[in-house]
Amino acid sequence: MKDLVAIILAAGQGTRMYSGLPKVLHNVAGQAMLDHVLEAIEPLEPRRIFVVTGFMSERVREHVGRRATCVNQDKRLGTAHAVKQAVPHLENFKGEVLITVGDTPLIRTETLRELIKRRRAHQVAATVLTTELENPTGYGRIVRNRDGTVRKIVEEKDTNIYEAAIREINTGIYVFDCQKLLAALQRVRNNNAQKEYYLTDTIEILEKLGGEVEPVVADDPTEIIGVNSRAELARAESFLRRRIALSVMEQGVTVIDPATTYIDRQVRIGRDTVIHPFSVLKGHCEIGEGAQIGPQAHVTDSRIGAGSRVRFCCIDQAELGEGVEVGPYASIRPGTRVCDGVRIGTFVEVTRSTVGAGSDILHLSYLGDAQIGERCSLGTASVTVNFDGVKKHRTVLGDDVFLGSRTSLVAPVEVESGSRFPHNASLQGTVTNGSAKPAPKARRPAKRK
Ligand code: UD1
Ligand code: CA
């Protein structure tokens, strides 16, 4: 939309969060509230997006990067004053301005689109997104004219008893005709309970200037919940998670218990995969089709191939192929690649390693800095001894290696393809077929710095 500009108000500290972090950078469902708002706006393709920053503006600016233009509001003198910071960029702009607050992470693109559509269709000065709440405490109230248009918005602290009883509230999301907004902004004064320049006052001003303001009622009041405290953050989180779970299910994924399943927004899951209870999928995860995830799988920034089954385990920044089994009680740590058909069993930890297709590591093992070939079998309690107290060393196994129980792979070590060792072996240097060649050098006892 070439004739659309968006402004996100995000200068506030969020006093009631009691946090060192700006409010809009607090996470909901795995990403900052501000990111959710940006994600809702971006599909509208506005010609520009402005973010009004103030509290820790550098931090917010850094977070936003190239997604939007940040304008700074030095003193928080109110929402109208915040919008004014973008005015130098809007002087000659003839289109319309979408204004949202930065603390409503559940807002959806379709709702914003509707707000824009209605303003255009009825050629009104502005549209305001409203909703009816059982308990409107804390929000600005919508006072309507007889014909249903908005006469004014009254902030709670400025309401009389009649206005306070109104349950239709201002969501803080509007679309304005740009030039009319600029004219109205010039007239906003701060003679109110909070001595602030209220953006909401522009509505009554527009009315008086002869422009109509149309309310658009959001059917789903959860969509516009504003987050002002940690309790509201948790509430937003639960609504957003429910929404994500629903959309995942609509794409053909079974979520056995959405109430105990935590899926971040960026997670992609193939059809006919089943997510069992108490599972957490965080960050950028990609799960293939027909996989079984959980119960109690904690997966972060990882890929899991089709038909894999992972349960009671942690998988962090790892890549698993197809038909892989992990767990119960396994930890797959960053930098690990597990190829197709591998089985990793109980009390096994793998880090910075590659495990070739079809290999088995089924009980009580540790692999660090290892490269395991295909179809290997590592016996119970086989471990890499990869750290000498100063440096980490590599372990390399060829294909079809069989290691009996309790093998120690004292790195650096290389085991040639097809080698077989009975239990209790301690391998070092380059070894093959059960006959260890002498280790290159005796190791000095490690000294820690
Ligand atoms: C605002 C609305 C209220 C509405 C509510 C919806 C006004 C005067 N009131 O109230 O009608 O029901 O949102 O959530 O607009 N901000 C700045 N600079 C400022 C002040 C605020 O950037 O000087 C930003 C804040 O960071 C926040 C947003 O504007 O993202 C809203 O400010 P906040 O103080 O939370 O307004 P509310 O009292 O919630
Ligand atoms: Ca607010």
For residues 19 and 64, what is the distance between their CA atoms, to the nearest angstrom? 19
pLDDT digits (tens, 9 = 90+) for 5-50: 999 999 988 899 999 999 999 999 989 999 999 999 999 999 999 9
Q: Which one has a higher pLDDT value, 327 or 448?
A: 327
CA dist., res. 437 & res. 48, Å (int): 68
Query: In the predicted model, what is the mean pLDDT of residues 299-325?
Result: 98
Q: How far apart are CA 277 and CA 268, in angstroms?
A: 18
Orientation angle between helical segments 178-186 and 201-208, nearest 10 degrees: 100
Which residue's CA is the nearest one to ligand 1's atom 17?
Answer: 11
The three-state secondary structure class of 316 is strand
Q: What is the pLDDT of residue 438?
A: 44
Q: How far is CA 436 from the centre of its chain?
A: 50
CB 343 within 8 A of CB 358: no
Is any ligand 1 atom within 6 A of the Cβ of residue 52? yes
Q: What is the rounded distance in angstroms from the CA atom of residue 98 to the CA atom of residue 2?
A: 13
In the beta sheet, which residues pair with residue 332? 315, 350
- The residues whose Cβ lies within 5 A of ligand 2, an ion, are 226
Q: Where would I find the beta strands (DSSP E) of 333-382? A: 336-338, 343-351, 354-355, 360-368, 370-372, 377-378
Residue 286 has pLDDT above 90, yes or no: yes
What share of the chain in percent tops pLDDT 90? 93
DSSP summary character for residue 67: S
Which atom of ligand 1 has the smallest separation from the CA of 23?
26
In the chain, what are the helix, strand and coil shares in percent, each to the nearest 5? 20, 35, 45
Q: Can you give the pTM of this predicted structure?
A: 0.84
Instruction: Write out the two tokens for 318.
Output: 């790892």
The pLDDT assigned to 437 comes to 47
Alpha carbon 142 to its chain centroid, in Å, reads: 33
439 pLDDT above the threshold of 50: no
Q: Can you tell me the distance from the alpha carbon of 209 to that of 16, in angstroms, rounded to the nearest whole number?
A: 37
C-beta of 365 in contact with ligand 1 (< 6 A) = no
Residues 204 and 447: their CA atoms lie apart, in Å, by 75
Query: What digits encode the pLDDT tens for the residues 57-91?
Result: 999 999 999 999 999 999 999 999 999 999 999 99
Q: What is the pLDDT of residues 136-194, one digit of tens each?
A: 999 999 999 999 999 999 999 999 999 999 999 999 999 999 999 999 999 999 999 99
Mean predicted confidence (pLDDT) in 245-272: 96
Question: Degrees (nearest 5) of the Cα angle 356, 360, 364?
Answer: 120
Cα(139) to ligand 1 centroid in Å equals 9
Residues that are catalytic: 363
